[in-house]
Structure formats: C-alpha cells, structure tokens
Amino acid sequence: MKNTGKLLSLLMLGLTMFGSISCTNDDDDDDDDPIVVNPVSEIKTVTGKITANTTWSASNQYLVSGFVYVESGATLTIEPGTIIKGDKNTKGSLIIQPGAKIIAVGTADKPIIFTSNQAAGQRKAGDWGGLIILGKAPVNKPNAVIEGENVSVFGGTDAADNSGQLKYVRIEFAGIAFETDKEINGLTFGGVGSGTEVDYVQVSYSGDDSFEWFGGAVNAKHLIAYRGLDDDFDTDNGFSGNVQYGFILRDPAIADQAGDSNGFESDNDAAGSAATPQTSAKFANVTIAMAEGTPDAKFNSAMRIRRNSAISVYNTLITGAWPRSAVRIEGDPAIANFTSGKIKMDGNMVAITGTPAQGVLEGITQVLFAPTGSKNMVGAVADLKLATGYNSITAKPGLLPQTGSSVLTSGATLPAGLEANTVVGAFGTTDWTDKWANWDPQNANYEIVK
C-alpha cells in the first residue's frame, strides 16, 4: 500500500509539472483535434479546439499554435492584463466560431495584448495569423467562408447575434497571407452581430488589413489602426454596423506590394453586384493620417469606395500625402450611390499634402462633395490648428487639436445610432488612447515577470 501511495504521488506530481489538459470535443469526427494546453516555462501552449467554457488568466501567458478554434457553445474568457502570443512557425490564429463567444475585457491600466512571440526588436508584421470572430448575422454571400483560413462558414439571419466582448485590447504584428488574396487580417469580423461589444481596440503593424468586416452588423468605437500594411478599415459583403472614433496612422514607407494600400476600402462584394444586404456601414469621427515622408508607390487613396458599396462617412478628417486621391468614388454603381444619396458624406474635412495624381476628389466633383449644408470642406492642414506631431511615428502622436481649431466645432449632425458631437476627426478634448494604447510595440517588454 505504501509503495502504491508513492507511485500515485509521483504520478500526480508529473501531471502537475507537465499539466497536459485536454477538453474533449463533442463531435464524432475523429479528425477534430481537442484543445491541448501545455505549460512550458510558464507559457501555456494552446492548440486545437476549445469546446467548453475556458478562462485564460493574467497569471499565465498563452502561445497560440496553429488554428485554435473556440467552438459553438463555448466561451473563452480572457482576464485583464493577459498576454497572448501567436506562434510564428505555425502561423498561430485564434478563431471564434459562430455560436461561440470571446469575452476579452481589459482595462485602460490592464489591456489584453495579442502579440508576436518574437523578442523585442525582432518583431515584424505577419509574425502570426490574427484574431478572427465569426457570427450569425446577415452577409450577402451564400455559404461565406472566411478568407485565409478558408474553412469556417459564417453568417445567418440574426443581425443581433452576440459573439462576446472586446474591450481595451491590443493586437500587434498579426496579419498574414496564406495564399494570394486569401489573407488573415489583424482583426477580422465575419457575420458578427450587433449584440457584440467592440470598444478600445488597437491593431498595430498588421501584415494585411488592420480591421476587416465581412457582412454583419457589429458596432465599434475607439479603434486604432497603426502602421499597417494594406488597408486600415476594409468593409465587404453587406457590413451595416456603425463605427465611431477611429484613428488611422500610416507609415509612408510601408505599403502592400501585392496590391495597393488605402485608408478605407469598401466593396459590396468582389463582383460589385447588387447582392443584399448592401454594404452600408456608417463611419463617424475618423482621422486618416500619414506620417511625413514620400509615400511608397503602392499607396493609393485615403478613402476608396467601389464595387457598389454604399457606406456613409461623417465628421472625418483626411490628411497626408496620399499619392492618388483623398476621396475616390470608383465605378458607375458607387458613383450612382453617391449621387442618389445612398452614400452620405457630411462634416468631413480633406486637407492632404502633395499633389495627388488623380486630384483630391476622384469620381465626383467638389460641387457634389461639398454642396451647401453638407459641412464638407477641402482645405490646408496649416489652417486646422492640429496638435504638434499629429502624425508622428517616432513618438506618441499629438492627438488633441489646439484651442480654437476648427475641427472642434465644424462637425455635422450625426444620424441615429452615432454619439452626437461637433468634432471632425477622432479627437476632441479627450485623449481616449491614454494608458492602454502602445505606440512602440516593437520594444515592449513582454517577457514573463517571475
């Protein structure tokens, strides 16, 4: 009996040290891998599928290896201050399936961080896959499969579907092309419903789009797209949510060599068809800026609306040396949407530098862009009294306009569903990036504190 007790004690000690935890999958498919969590030097490596409610604790770090799925019916809760790293070799990606939830609610003092597993100074865009959230809200593409992963189907009929919460979250060095035109973005939404909360999210150094919405009706506030590669806010396949308070800051030396880079890019679908629901999201209080320097030749327009999209943009500030144009309404269907009022633009200020090859406005005239009462204007950056270093990428940018700046009071009345204000751009008198945002993630210390 004593020997048996010793053996049992050794067995329990071994399990405690190596901590292999398996959550079984209810599916009968033998090819489905269960979730496996292996503590390695205080980092828990996560693979496979999460099929039961799971909490990731701030007392650990987590390494996402390969495609990790939160399955329908399961909720992944992530505590404030938790650091999650993506494995570079396996292109680690976290995918929240339709019917599953992620509850990632950080605080300004303790944001949740998804980042590269590489050491400080060695991190690069595309070090890991990214975060993908899929839901059951309408999309205009039958049997829609998410790009990059190319397996998971999303979308449905529940516009108010709830995929959980993202609040005070940073996503860094994600975004990777698995094949041509099939990329995973920093943060991807597929058919995500309006029951989902998204607020205070920064995507930095994405190797593809910073944020992309494929259909769905999720609303979002306080988004930062920082020094990404491709587009910053990309909308497709019937996205109809409201996005308010967004800050886009581009590095002029970094653009997508496989295509072109824009601040906004918006399509109804890839064919520019009349498929419904039509892409009709509303954006308000966005600042689109580019740092000083000659833009890479692959930069295009600050705002590119095409392929029968019908998004609307309010109280948005566009600055920077965008080489093609500032506002580009592309193709007959999109131009018709603008002239008919489906695309609504009010309270926007365009003050770009340089000489854009196709003009400040492309596809529409200034008369169409700035009719009486629209409060749209085209002017010069020097007249706006922006903060010193408003487009700096060598330090925290100056975010709050100077006293007396016209951007504080020139906004248009916003439609229902958006918070009322008179500000043009992302910032009035409050710096909503304070504490939780990071303007130098390359040198951040994410080592385990022992």
Residue 235 corresponds to which tokens in the numbers above? 């909308």
Burial class (CB in 10 A: 0-12, 13-18, 19+), 138: buried
Q: Per-residue pLDDT for 83 more than 90?
A: yes
β-pairing, 43-47 vs 345-346, is unpaired
DSSP conformation letters of 311-356: -EEES-EEEE--SSEEEEE-SHHHHHHHHHTSS-EES-EEEE-S--
Flag whether pLDDT at 179 surpasses 80: no
Structure tokens at 136: 């059951």
pLDDT of 34 over the 70 cut: no
Q: Give the ranges where 341-426 is alpha helix by DSSP (H).
A: 366-369
Rounded to whole angstroms, the Cα distance separating 147 from 357 reads: 32
Q: pLDDT digit string (tens) for 310-350? A: 999 999 999 999 999 999 999 999 999 999 999 999 999 99
pLDDT per position as a tens digit, 305-314: 999 999 999 9
Sheet hosting strand 325-329, strand order edge to edge: 49-50, 67-70, 93-96, 130-134, 187-190, 211-214, 233-236, 264-266, 301-305, 325-329, 361-362
| CB atoms closer than 10 angstroms to residue 317 | 28
pLDDT digits (tens, 9 = 90+) for 180-231: 667 899 999 999 999 999 999 999 999 999 999 999 999 999 999 999 999 9
List the one residue out of 20, 91, 119, 16 whose CA is nearest residue 448: 119
Residues 376-423: pLDDT tens digits?
999 999 999 999 999 999 999 999 999 999 999 999 999 999 999 999
